[in-house]
Chains A and B, each alone.
Chain A
Amino acid sequence: MRLCPERRAGVSPAAAALACLLGSALLGSALLGGALLGGCSKPAALSGAAPVTLLNVSYDPTRELYEAVNKAFAAEWLASTGEQVTINQSHGGSGKQARAIIDGLQADVATLALAYDIIELNKRAQLLPAGWAARLPDNSAPYTSTIVFLVRKGNPKNIRDWDDLVRPGVAVITPNPKSSGGARWNYLAAWAWALKQPGGNDASAKDFVHKLYRNVPVLDSGARGATVTFVDRGIGDVLLAWENEALLAKQQLGADKVDIVLPSLSILAEPPVAVVDQVVDRRGTRKQAEAYLKFLYTPQGQEIIARNFYRPRDPQVAARYTGQFPTLKLVTIDDTFGGWEKAQQTHFDDGGTFDQIYGQ
């Protein structure tokens, strides 16, 4: 093809820019057309209903849990409706995941580490209504967990309770509460313990938590990263971990590597689940997404939950796993901290008690 070089040479930069833009637009639409064609031809090739995909955006340690849940739910859904459903998973620090959803990650369901991160989905982007927590039983938390200590086999540093963590020479591994939901539970559990000591008050609790973080040599961004640091890299004497993460680590590593220590007091963690309304309504997946979350509350779902080391809500299932989940003295976020929004503001927002630790 002939581009007529003599003319071209005299073309002004602006005109050339326009030509370039036009060219790009043409190229873009050609590509888009191709994509649309590709998209159209696919369903035609398949007989019957198109397979449905759901995206479950979850926090760090739930990988194994939702792999098992997804398989069971897909089989159950296929049997009851004849429709194939594939559930994709995304995992990361809970705060990071919430931000990704706010920034446009197309999550059909959000299963995060703490209610505050789902509250953010409502407050910052109105992706779901304010009353989301009441839509499912138990404040939309189909399983609970708590915070325990994971120590080296035989507990060489003799770590028994929270006050052992601030002893000089004890290295504590916990993720960064700014990005990790589990770390926020860790932080609040430590705070609650100090608060409940004789003569404990906000000042003494703050002092205790500050001392604890002085013993932290590595701050990972999520709970799984912290587990890897403690287990694989051999850093630290004690890992503050989700109970489920601790039990999983113990199971995968073998009981000869690590021990679990139960502190005298911990916190009841209620990781909530929610359908992201704006996404499911746009994608037309509300029916499947709601059934997926309801499945978590069924006896089958609760059994999978217990087997993956999360404490089930169903008393019958729980009764079968009493050996795995010993009774612990637990405080709740509402009783001790006045709910998540207040706790977030006091402790984890900029200038909160966590920032003050590293403030100087």
Chain B
Amino acid sequence: MSDAILPLPLAGGGAGTSRSRRRFRMLPGFGLTMGYTLVYVSLIVLIPLSAAFLRSAELGPVKFWQVVSAPRVLASLRLSFGAALLAAAINGVFGFIIAWALTRQRFPGRRLFDAIIDLPFALPTAVAGIALTALYAPNGWIGQLLLPLGIRVAYTPLGIVVALAFVSLPFVVRTLQPVLGDLDREVERAAETLGASRFQSFIWVVLPSIWPTLLTGVALGFSRAVGEYGSVIFIAGNIPMVSEIAPLMIMTKLEQYQYAEATAIAVVMLLASFALMFGINGLQLWAQRRRRAR
């Protein structure tokens, strides 16, 4: 097997490779890897997705529009995207603080905390949903403390945000951690020697260099949250027009054997997510360009 890897260092330069450079691309095995990529992406992503589009096309444009513009469907889409954005934004702030503490501070139990961050990745989401519901229900540990304050979490849209924040937290933390770790502290020190306060050096030096990464983390967290079903149905209450998420709407349609209508909602979710991710990517690109231009 090692023979196959051999050309890699050779291709990097030196007289030995100049002879075969015309036949030899800079990246060895381009055809092979590209082929694998195409097949893999097709099998896992593109074919199932195009099946969804085809299925929803059965409806015809008029029926499609009727399905996705029904008030209940619109309400569920608004809720799903709104709650996911809110959860991702909350994680943008608190996930950042956690990542900062874990990379910059040394405290006992840091590694344990670091491992705990991954729990939402590993825990079956239904378990998370049931646990959160038990905690935040009016008779739960946290719920009964909040009830006298007039705050209800379980069985309200707020509960959905809590569940989504739970499942999407590791995406923000894990995305930020390596970048925060690589951040050159000399630059901050330099800013401080030039008279910047710690706050100023954070705002003008640290934040500009990590906020594209922060955006990536938030975008990942958002995309994880928007399609979340397992944990949410337990805590949401699932009342139409109030706390019914779009994935549940899809499930309900499926349970009534309306496959085409279910996929129509899925297609709308997909397109909306895609548009949002595209926007976030654009924002990131813009931020990076602006930084380089300085």
Which residues on A are within 8 Å of B, measured CB to CB?
Answer: 1-3, 5-6, 8-21, 93, 95-96, 99, 102, 120, 124, 176, 178-179, 216-221, 232-235, 349-350, 358-360
CB contacts (< 8 Å) of A179 on chain B: these are 251-252, 255
CB contacts (< 8 Å) of B1 on chain A: these are 1, 3
Partner of A2, one of B3, B40, B137: B3
- Given A17-B38, A20-B36, A232-B134: A9 in contact with B257 (beta carbons within 8 A): no
Interface pair A218/B35, CB less than 8 Å apart: no
Q: Is B48 an interface residue (CB 8 A)?
A: no
- Interface with A: B26-34, B168-176, B206-214, B286-294, which one? B26-34
Interface pair A124/B257, CB less than 8 Å apart: yes
- Given A5-B3, A6-B23, A235-B137: A178 in contact with B35 (beta carbons within 8 A): no
How far is B135's CA from A232's CA once the two chains are assembled, in angstroms?
11
Within B132-161, which residues are at the interface with A (CB < 8 Å)? 133-134, 137-140, 154-155
Most buried by A among B23, B71, B134, B255: B255
Interface pair B71/A233, CB less than 8 Å apart: no
A interface, by DSSP: helix, strand, loop or mixed?
Answer: loop
How far is B36's CA from A46's CA once the two chains are assembled, in angstroms?
44
Total chain B interface residues with beta-carbon distance under 8 A: 44
Interface pair B24/A358, CB less than 8 Å apart: no
CB contacts (< 8 Å) of A178 on chain B: these are 252, 255-256
- Given A8-B31, A217-B155, A217-B237: A21 in contact with B39 (beta carbons within 8 A): yes
- Interface with A: B49-57, B99-107, B238-246, which one? B238-246
CB contacts (< 8 Å) of B200 on chain A: these are none
Interface pair A13/B240, CB less than 8 Å apart: no
CB contacts (< 8 Å) of A8 on chain B: these are 4, 29, 31-32
Interface pair A9/B71, CB less than 8 Å apart: no
Q: Is B254 an interface residue (CB 8 A)?
A: yes
Interface pair B155/A19, CB less than 8 Å apart: no
CB closest chain-A residue, reference B5: A5
Interface pair B7/A10, CB less than 8 Å apart: no
Partner of A176, one of B36, B137, B252, B257: B252
Q: Is B15 an interface residue (CB 8 A)?
A: no
Q: Is B197 an interface residue (CB 8 A)?
A: no
The interface bits of chain B over 226-237 (1 if a CB of A lies within 8 angstroms of the residue's CB, else 0) are 000000010001
Task: Identify the 5 closest CB pairs spanning chains A and B, nearest first.
Answer: A16-B35, A358-B240, A234-B139, A233-B137, A17-B35
- Given A3-B3, A95-B255, A221-B233: A13 in contact with B139 (beta carbons within 8 A): no
CB contacts (< 8 Å) of A349 on chain B: these are 256
Interface pair B239/A217, CB less than 8 Å apart: yes
User: Would you give the shortest CB distance from A236 to chain B, in whole angstroms?
Assistant: 10
Interface pair B71/A359, CB less than 8 Å apart: yes
Interface pair B256/A350, CB less than 8 Å apart: yes
Interface pair B257/A15, CB less than 8 Å apart: no
Can you spell out 17 A-B residue pairs with CB atoms less than 8 angstroms apart? A2-B3, A3-B4, A9-B24, A12-B31, A13-B35, A16-B32, A16-B34, A16-B36, A18-B35, A20-B39, A179-B251, A218-B238, A221-B251, A233-B134, A233-B154, A235-B137, A350-B258
Within B100-146, which residues are at the interface with A (CB < 8 Å)? 133-134, 137-140
Partner of B72, one of A3, A102, A358: A358
Q: Is B20 an interface residue (CB 8 A)?
A: yes
Interface pair B139/A14, CB less than 8 Å apart: no
Q: Is B6 an interface residue (CB 8 A)?
A: yes
User: Would you give the shortest CB distance from B139 to chain A, in whole angstroms?
Assistant: 4
Interface pair A17/B39, CB less than 8 Å apart: yes
Interface pair A233/B133, CB less than 8 Å apart: yes
Interface pair A219/B254, CB less than 8 Å apart: no
CB contacts (< 8 Å) of B24 on chain A: these are 6, 9
CB contacts (< 8 Å) of A96 on chain B: these are 255
CB contacts (< 8 Å) of B185 on chain A: these are none
Q: Is B198 an interface residue (CB 8 A)?
A: no
CB contacts (< 8 Å) of A124 on chain B: these are 257
Given contacts A93-B255, A179-B255, A358-B72, 20 further A-B contacts (CB under 8 A): A2-B3, A3-B3, A3-B4, A5-B7, A9-B28, A10-B31, A12-B35, A14-B35, A16-B35, A18-B35, A19-B35, A20-B40, A21-B39, A179-B252, A219-B239, A220-B238, A221-B233, A221-B251, A358-B241, A360-B71
Q: Is B25 an interface residue (CB 8 A)?
A: yes
How far is B239's CA from A358's CA once the two chains are assembled, in angstroms?
9
CB closest chain-B residue, reference A10: B23
CB contacts (< 8 Å) of A99 on chain B: these are 254-255, 257
How far is B255's CA from A178's CA once the two chains are assembled, in angstroms?
8
Partner of A95, one of B25, B237, B256: B256
How far is B14's CA from A243's CA once the two chains are assembled, in angstroms?
84
CB closest chain-A residue, reference B136: A233
How far is B140's CA from A232's CA once the two chains are assembled, in angstroms?
9
